[in-house]
Structure 1
């Protein structure tokens, strides 16, 4: 069984252009993400999944400088890009992390890896209770293969509704809470205010130190006003019409989906 970390990353952001290569305490945002992945235990590969768009070649150079693999795939179909990367590198399970989350919880990633090692039948793992940008996702590559075969959606940047389907997959939820910050706090980077907050956090640590989620929680205990920096920004969500369309698709095609799943999973190991 091979488990890999896939970092999905592109430079196309319109809200905060080139955010992944902005300087954050001496390193780019995406380099902080890469450094954190190297502290996840029991993984076989770290791969940055970006697109074939020439704009994203900056990211591949960063991968080479930081001794990790990269994969070039679809610009819009994030799930397809992840599946093709997983297949190319021979992965059975993946830990999915996005490049704008330089404070993702290494502890949470270790939990996800342990869940896969303890139960090979797990298809999808998500976490509730951590701030936005701190949790990671775990995906069985067979589940990813099934979704890529059946889905009608092309733009899958926000893909949770396609795989968090307990009526089809074996889904597990990890519950983890912190003392001083709740799940509504944004510790991801989409807006300038997000970056300002993350930058304020990193100023408290040396450039070579990798703060864990409990270090960050302690900062908010000392300075609760940090929460105000980006409090007016709201996390993007999937349009209700798209959610309804996905729900309708799974309901109408349930039996066929289960049959196809049985064929794909037949030779899992």
Structure 2
């Protein structure tokens, strides 16, 4: 079973421009994301997939300097960017990660890969409400190609796997139950706004470890509500 991680990344952001290369702890946001993805067991390659826009030259240069594979494709058709990137590696499964989640949960990702190794289905459903910013998605390359052919609405092209949740009956599925120590949906550990950045900086400064377990991150935020409250008022953009 060949599994790759594709991290979608771009410099453009309406609320926090250039966020993926902002400093975080002693490194930067993209270092957090890629280093945590490299900890996922059973993954053969970690690739950053960015756009062809000139502003994303900085992302490609970062990849060159840090020894990370880089692919460049459509800015708006993120689904096509994923498919064209994956074609170069001929994987069995593709894990989707977004670069605005510096604390992506590699421990849960390990469990999800293990489930896919046993079940060999199209997609693993993550069941349970967790903090925003921790989750990964694992889908078969075959299913990704099917979505690419059939998912033609803007929401399908932008959100990559959205079609698989909208038309659930068309895919074979397995279930991963979120561990009890991750069931804190009130927490927001992602990076869309300045308030999100302030929270992530506080966490990074406290642990000074890009590979810190999210069980420790969550415990820290629960024990320090003044930090957790920094971004509780932020609303996630709706899927349209």
TM-score category by the smaller chain? over 0.9
Secondary structure of 1:232's counterpart equals coil
Are the equivalent residues in 2 in contact too, given 1:147–1:162 (CA < 8 A)? Answer: yes
Rg bigger for which structure? 1
Match in the other structure for 1:250: none
Contact 1:11–1:56 (CA<8 Å) still a contact in 2? yes
Stretches of structure 2 that go unaligned for 5 or more consecutive residues are none
CA distance in 2, matches of 1:66, 1:170: 37
Change (3 A) 1:129 1:154: closer
Which residue of structure 1 lines up, in the alignment, with residue 213 of structure 2? 212
Is the 8 Å Cα contact of residues 104 and 133 (structure 1) preserved in structure 2?
yes
What is the TM-score normalised by the length of structure 2?
0.93
SS at match of 2:170: coil
Structure 1 runs of 4+ aligned residues shifted over 6 Å read: none
The alignment covers a number of residue pairs equal to 237
Q: Distance in 2 between matches of 1:223 and 1:147?
A: 42
Tell me the distance in 2 between the aligned counterparts of 1:181 and 1:230.
18
What whole-Å deviation, never above 9, does each CA across 1:96-137 have from its counterpart, x for those lacking one? 1100101011111111211221122x1112323221010100
TM-score by length of 1: 0.83
Q: Is the 8 A contact 2:4 2:93 kept in 1?
A: yes
Counterpart CA distance in 1 for 2:136 and 2:105 is 7
Which residues in structure 2 correspond to 1:3-152 (within 5 Å)? 3-120=3-120, 122-127=121-126, 128-152=128-152
Distance 1:73 1:95 in 2: 18
1:139-178 alignment runs, 5 A limit = 139-154=139-154, 156-164=157-165, 165-178=167-180
Does structure 2 retain, via aligned residues, the 8 Å contact 1:181–1:217? no
Note if contact 1:7-1:99 (Cα within 8 Å) is conserved in structure 2.
Answer: yes
Q: Which residue of 2 aligns with 1:224?
A: 225
Secondary structure of 1:114's aligned partner? helix
Query: By how many angstroms is 1:217 displaced?
Result: 1.8
The partner residue of 2:200 within 169, 173, 198 is 198
Give the whole-Å Cα distance in 1 for the aligned partners of 2:39 and 2:222: 25
Alpha-carbon separation, structure 1, partners of 2:143 and 2:151: 12
With 178-187 and 123-132 compared, the bigger mean Cα shift is at 178-187
Asked if the contact 2:74/2:80 (under 8 Å) is kept, the reply is: yes
- Alpha-carbon RMSD across the aligned residues, in angstroms, is 1.7
Q: Where does structure 1 lack aligned partners over 5 or more consecutive residues?
A: 240-269
